[in-house]
Structure 1
Amino acid sequence: MPAIFCYAPAMAVALRSREQMVYDLIVAGSGSVGAAAGYYATRAGLKVLMIDSAHPPHQQGSHHGETRLIRHAYGEGARYVPLVLRAQTLWDELEQLSGERIMHRSGVINLAPADSTFLNNVIESANAHQLNVQVLQTEEIRQRWPQLNVPDGYLGAFEADSGYLLAEQAIRSYIRLAEQAGCAQLFNCGVDSIGTEGDLQTVTTGDGVFHARKLLISAGTWVNQLVPGLPVRPLRKVFAWYQADGRYSENNKFPAFTVEMANGSQFYGFPAKDNALKVGRHDGGQWINTPQERTPFGSYAADGSEAFSFLRQFLPGIGVCLHGAACTYDNSPDEDFIIDRLPGHPNRLIITGLSGHGFKFASVLGEIAAQFAADQPTAFDLAPFSLNRFS
């Protein structure tokens, strides 16, 4: 497939001229974070070039599969809450700007044994930030959602204002709005290498060498191909849709959910749509080293069955597996994000290591990248996400 160039009329210049142009920001990897960064930086008046090896939204990264949870009371730690609250504001704004529905406030019920670290972090972060979260005892959960078979000794933390995002629609909207704002977009064309030329960043592709004052590296799973030695490891993951009926639908007020089983396994899911309920397992998966190892759903015997024990115990009314998909996580060693300027390269920002819980933050991470490109400070404490924590 040939490279796709999308310009507003003012940007419709010959490729040779574009190679000679110095951009304020080049985005290497324009999936979730990169799509948002391209839009926000262009909206701020910067000259921006977005590059991606495919045409976002696509199925080569981590953003496909229709939906992603957005949780505000954060089991991964209260340090994420200010970021996710800003992200929510930006998602709501994107809905207004695009005219497309992005957010479903179905609510999210977090279920776990009473001594769960994750669940207690949810409750503590909700208290610290005065979030609308209701702590429910086992019997209260059963009465409210009789579809859920909750074991004795479990607690629930229900986030009424949370829910899920339409991930592919969100990226599609960012790509379109960026183009309309005048952003140059080079898709179906991967980045071969990055370098420097004087004070400028250089990005080499099959369609030429491009120059910018600042560079965002948001290349997802295979970021180590551009920046060798990063503490990021690709993990193959799957999710699937299972037969369900109207009892599990959003119209019946069935929420999105996270569940920690007694053995520590972690599952998540969404209200049923068109009689299909999507479920994924957050832990587990297969470590991989090449894109070819990210094989389709069904290529491992466990793909179609890894959720069965969870479904039998917690959602016994759910039926057979209808279809599934594979994706990849870009995991950091501690599963916290990496948001930092590369050592020795203050004009390069790296956003990676999102470890399977990053999509909900894509809007605010894109805004942070745009602030970096404009030499503006961010309102957030990013120290917990620096590379030096691995030194």
Structure 2
Amino acid sequence: MAEIYDFVIIGTGSVGSAAGYYASQKGLKVLELDVAVPPHTQGSHHGQTRLIRHAYGEGEKYLPMLLRAQKLWDELQQKTHRDIFHQTALLNVGRQGTDFIENVEKSAQKYQLPYEKLTGDEISQRWENFNFSDDYVGILEKKAGYLNSEIAIQTYLDLAQEAGVDQRFDSAVQSIDFQDDIVVIETAQQVYRAKNVLVSAGTWVKELLPEMPVQPLRKVFSWFDVADNRLNEDEGFPAYAIEIDDEQTYYGFPGKDGTIKIGQHTGGQPITHRSQRTPYGDYASDKEEVLPLLLQYLKGVGSLNHGASCTYDQSPDGDFIIDQLPGHPNVQFVTGLSGHGFKFASVLGELAAQKAAQEEITTDLSAFKLNRFE
């Protein structure tokens, strides 16, 4: 009889790598599976960096998880001395009165987060590369910034391996089945048995759980040459999230090593197959989608240096889906992260490990249940 793992993780990118590490710290026998060797470029976690915002425009329901996530990122950096979190400050910008900027300020006030509110003119005075009229407002989060996503994942994987976690990468899962209370996972190479399973397969979760209401979106981001050194991190330029006209949302990072990374959170191309996630530049819009930001609101950005494509696992309402498989409480899933999930990877991994260890979950996850779409 094959050995039975306490916890098998299918998809060991952002959430999965964190879950494997935290489960190993609880003494569970853990197996990590992935279609490639993470960190890799086939999912949503590549591209070097991800923002971490605390005053959250997506709603207050995220704040308890988000503040715990930051604490876990800080602990990971302190434990390993790796380059994981950069506290650069983060500037949220939107037109006065829009839901995004109102939610940002309300969440900052409710959770007593340190922030500074700026008019459009004050933004432009402090950072001359920004150009906003006074119908825009900024919320500056001084303790926010960005995460080095690939370093963070590699750190979790290294720590898990040191703790004795089995890692079987380049192992695409073909099916999940059930024998009494045991979950049977079949790959092309082998069959595994588990007491508990986490499906954190990102964009392609529907290949295993076709009932998930997730739409894969092809997305891109770009690096431009820095033409004005005032855009650089070491000059005090912040990370930023900017909503224009309540329609288009852009994000970006301070310049570093001669380039500055910028992307558009909105938009993208709905796809259904892995082959449709084509390289950067395959669509004419890839090189044009950040032009509205650069032409009117952000100056000092030079020529396009290079770009990359990724995917979002987009839920119908843009909120996460965190739940267990109906009829099978020992199979949990985290999906629908909708392009704003990486900052939560640490806490989502911790929560998954707690559930696998049958610990009490005190975090309120009711807003993220699957049945809200019924």
Band of TM-score, shorter chain: over 0.9
Task: Provide, for residues 269-297 of structure 1, a one-character-per-residue CA deviation record: whole Å limited to 9, x for no partner.
Answer: 00001121100000000000000000000
The percentage of counterpart residues that share the same residue type is 52
Counterpart of 1:14 in structure 2 is: none
One-letter amino acid of the structure 2 residue matched with residue 182 of structure 1: G
Distance, in Å, in 2 between the alignment partners of 1:259 and 1:327 is 20
Aligned pairs for 1:58-73 (under 5 A) are 58-73=40-55
Match of 1:134 among 110, 116, 119: 116
Counterpart of 2:231 in structure 1 is: 248
One-letter amino acid of the structure 2 residue matched with residue 44 of structure 1: K
- Partner SS, residue 202 of structure 1: strand
Moved over 2 A (4+): none
Distance, in Å, in 2 between the alignment partners of 1:154 and 1:383 is 34
Normalising by structure 1, report the TM-score: 0.94
CA contact (8 A) 2:87 2:144 kept: yes
- How much has 1:248 moved relative to structure 2? 0.5
- How much has 1:380 moved relative to structure 2? 0.7
Match of 1:96 among 78, 88, 94: 78
Task: Provide, for residues 46-103 of structure 1, a one-character-per-residue CA deviation record: whole Å limited to 9, x for no partner.
Answer: 0000000000100000000000000000000011011010000100111122220100
Distance, in Å, in 1 between the alignment partners of 2:209 and 2:289 is 34
Counterpart of 1:9 in structure 2 is: none
- How much has 1:152 moved relative to structure 2? 2.9
Deviates more, 1:190-199 or 1:331-340: 190-199
Residue-pair matches, total: 373
Structure 1: gaps spanning 5 or more residues: 1-18
Counterpart of 1:213 in structure 2 is: 195
- Partner SS, residue 286 of structure 2: coil
Aligned pairs for 1:217-232 (under 5 A) are 217-232=199-214
CA contact (8 A) 1:98 1:177 kept: no
- How much has 1:382 moved relative to structure 2? 0.3
Match of 2:266 among 283, 289, 294: 283
One-letter amino acid of the structure 2 residue matched with residue 37 of structure 1: A
Task: Provide, for residues 187-236 of structure 1, a one-character-per-residue CA deviation record: whole Å limited to 9, x for no partner.
Answer: 01111111111210111011211001000000000000001121111000
CA contact (8 A) 2:145 2:238 kept: yes
Counterpart of 1:48 in structure 2 is: 30
Deviates more, 1:114-123 or 1:142-151: 142-151
Normalising by structure 2, report the TM-score: 0.98
Counterpart of 1:335 in structure 2 is: 318
Counterpart of 1:377 in structure 2 is: 360
2:346 equivalent to 1:363: yes
Counterpart of 1:197 in structure 2 is: 179
- How much has 1:40 moved relative to structure 2? 0.3
Aligned pairs for 1:139-158 (under 5 A) are 139-158=121-140
One-letter amino acid of the structure 2 residue matched with residue 47 of structure 1: K
- Partner SS, residue 124 of structure 2: helix
- How much has 1:246 moved relative to structure 2? 1.8
Distance, in Å, in 1 between the alignment partners of 2:278 and 2:245 is 30
Distance, in Å, in 2 between the alignment partners of 1:293 and 1:141 is 40
- How much has 1:128 moved relative to structure 2? 0.7
- Partner SS, residue 310 of structure 1: helix
2:30 equivalent to 1:32: no
- Partner SS, residue 360 of structure 2: coil
Distance, in Å, in 2 between the alignment partners of 1:390 and 1:285 is 23
Distance, in Å, in 1 between the alignment partners of 2:248 and 2:304 is 19
- How much has 1:377 moved relative to structure 2? 1.4
Counterpart of 1:5 in structure 2 is: none
